[in-house]
A = this chain, B = another copy of it.
Amino acid sequence: MTTSPSTTAPVFRNHQHFLEEFPKTGPDTLAGKMLRHYWHPVCLSADLRDVPYPVRMLGEDLVAFRGLDGKVGLVDQRCAHRCASLVYGQITKDGLKCSYHGWTFDSRGRCTDMPLEPLNSPAMQRVKQVWYPTQEWAGIVWTYMGEEKDTPPPLPKLDILTRTDGEIVIERGDIRPYNYLNFIENFADMGHIYVMHMLEPGKVPLELEPYVNHTVDTNWRTMEHRTFETDFGMKCVLVHNTADANLKYVNSWSIVPPGVYRFGGIHAGLPPDFTNDRRESGGILRIIDDTHFEMFRFQLIRPGNFRTTYYPVPTDKTRGVAKGMQGTVEKKDYDTRKYPAWEGLPQVEDYVLQESQGGIPPRHREHLATSDIGIALLRRLWRRGMEAVAEGSKPKLPKTDDHGIVHVDTFKGLAHPDEIKLSPENMPSSEDGRGLIRDEHGELIFGKS
């Protein structure tokens, strides 16, 4: 808090000014400064072997490396000496050595060797390489790029990655050529599920058909659609009617700012409700720069889950980068679009439409409406965070428990009206991602406390 906020000029001249600043990521931008109050994923621990690993983070070109002592460093790619790239450096016992003239930097940017200078040259004290602290947890290398990098806040631990009741699968490498907020806004937007992802819904595998509840009402206008700011960030909730007036189908989607998304484990993001397919799903975005991000997807697969439905290797070919990305619609030879025949797979659908909004969408041309309440809440959170940073304080960080764990609401399932909490509070059984699972007769199968 500043002492005299009333005399300060407003952070944003108007909403349009906020919308322009909102998607920026660089160190000299207000949004970029806000992003630097959070921990970000860099790569998998397994990615760091015996060669330097180039990585662009929030618009900064960095290089990660694992020293011979096993410690992870993350420093500016450009050597402080004569601008050569440390991407071509050598990993030594002292840190990362520039191959050009041998200047060596440890994981805190201190120069530990200048082989062409006199021993104990004062230049070694004078020269510092830009560096950022790192932490390895859950198989991921994380970094904190904020001003308080010498004493960063603790890394918040995502609940799903602490789970031991199944196999955690982390996938990375899907790099997308547009701003990360195109993706995050898509996640705060439950309505698109009922338009886009129902265009050409993939068939339910035959063996799942018995578990489908065909009485869930998928008509948007009959659902209750709510959004909540929560202590972890925000969530969007839909409550569907079913044939049984005493049984509702609840679906929650959650965001831990700036880059974590979580949802109940389903393979298509849609009802129906596959009792045996209760995989926990979600991911975290590595923000590369204003117009690129990388996805780190994670899933918890428990005994009984259908293994075939988590993102399989063949999906990589049909998803994402390549021109001619193909869904389940047959390609026509007169289809001149960049992505012909794109409909059918939700991941492909999201990719194509998010990319189509533009590297940074021209938001001044938007017309939001009532179904955009998730988008609106998300922007309020970002705006409040940016304003806090502009005034010298911090954005809201996710609340953790005594073990440093963030608990995220991901309830998805059937519930009786009196069991439903339409509030910032997590729904019961949310922590195992299964919701209150009932069979077709309304009998509680999972979620009994």
Contact = CB atoms under 8 A, between A and B. Distances in A.
Contacts of A123: 367, 369-370
Nearest to A76: B365
Interface residues of A, number: 69
A356 B89 CA distance: 11
Contact of A117 (B127, B337, B371): B371
Interface in A45-102: 47, 49-54, 78, 80-85, 87-88, 90, 99-102
A353 B90 CA distance: 13
Given A99-B199, A114-B369, A334-B49, A87 B356 contact: yes
Interface in A337-361: 337-340, 342-343, 349, 352-353, 356-358, 361
A339 B51 CA distance: 12
Contacts of A13: none
Interface string A102-122: 100000000000111111010
Contact of A100 (B85, B115, B118, B353): B353
Contact of A366 (B82, B119, B121, B191): B82
Contact of A81 (B47, B199, B367): B367
A221 interface: yes
Contacts of A214: none
A335 interface: yes
A220 B54 CA distance: 30
A384 interface: no
How many copies of this chain does the complex contain? 3
Contacts of A54: 336-337
A332 interface: yes
A194 B81 CA distance: 16
Contacts of A349: 99
Interface of A: 47, 49-54, 78, 80-85, 87-88, 90, 99-102, 114-119, 121, 123, 126-127, 185, 189, 191-192, 194-196, 199, 220-221, 332, 334-340, 342-343, 349, 352-353, 356-358, 361-363, 365-372, 375
10 contacts: A54-B337, A81-B366, A82-B357, A83-B362, A83-B363, A101-B195, A101-B196, A115-B195, A116-B369, A123-B370
Given A81-B366, A83-B361, A83-B366, 7 more contacts: A78-B358, A83-B358, A84-B353, A88-B337, A99-B195, A101-B371, A117-B371
